[in-house]
Amino acid sequence: DSGVTQTPKHLITATGQRVTLRCSPRSGDLSVYWYQQSLDQGLQFLIQYYNGEERAKGNILERFSAQQFPDLHSELNLSSLELGDSALYFCASSVVGTGPYEQYFGPGTRLTVT
Amino acid sequence: QQPVQSPQAVILREGEDAVINCSSSKALYSVHWYRQKHGEAPVFLMILLKGGEQKGHDKISASFNEKKQQSSLYLTASQLSYSGTYFCGTTPGPARQLTFGSGTQLTVLP
Contact residues on chain B for A2, CB-CB shorter than 8 A: 41, 43
Indicate whether A40 pLDDT > 70: no
Q: Which residues pair with A11 in a beta bridge?
A: A111
Of A98, A102, A107, the CB nearest to B94: A98
Q: Are A94 and A31 in contact (CB under 8 A)?
A: yes
Contact B32/A100, CB-based, under 8 Å?
yes
Q: Which residues contact B67 (CB under 8 A, 6 or more apart)?
A: none
Instruction: Please report the pLDDT score of residue B31 as a whole number.
Output: 93
Indicate whether A88 pLDDT > 90: yes
| Distance of alpha carbon A94 from alpha carbon A108, whole angstroms | 16
Asked if B84 is an interface residue toward chain A (Cβ–Cβ < 8 A), one would say no
Indicate whether B53 pLDDT > 90: no
B2-43: pLDDT as tens digits: 999 999 999 999 999 999 999 999 888 899 999 999 889 999
Mean pLDDT of A29-56: 91
Of A56, A90, A101, the CB nearest to B41: A90
Instruction: Please report the pLDDT score of residue A95 as a whole number.
Output: 85
B58-96: pLDDT as tens digits: 789 999 988 889 999 999 999 999 999 999 999 888 777
Distances from the Cα of A103 to the Cαs of A3, A10, A37, B2, in angstroms?
11, 22, 16, 18
Q: Are A3 and A26 in contact (CB under 8 A)?
A: yes
Mean pLDDT of A16-20: 98
The amino acid sitting at B21 is N
Mean pLDDT of B96-105: 90
* B1 — pLDDT class (breaks 50, 70, 90): confident
Asked if B3 is an interface residue toward chain A (Cβ–Cβ < 8 A), one would say no
Mean pLDDT of A23-50: 91
DSSP E strands in B3-103: the ranges are 4-6, 9-13, 18-23, 30-36, 43-49, 54-57, 60-65, 70-75, 84-91, 99-100
Instruction: Please report the pLDDT score of residue B8 as a whole number.
Output: 95
| Distance of alpha carbon B37 from alpha carbon A101, whole angstroms | 22
Indicate whether A39 pLDDT > 80: no
Q: Are A13 and A19 in contact (CB under 8 A)?
A: yes
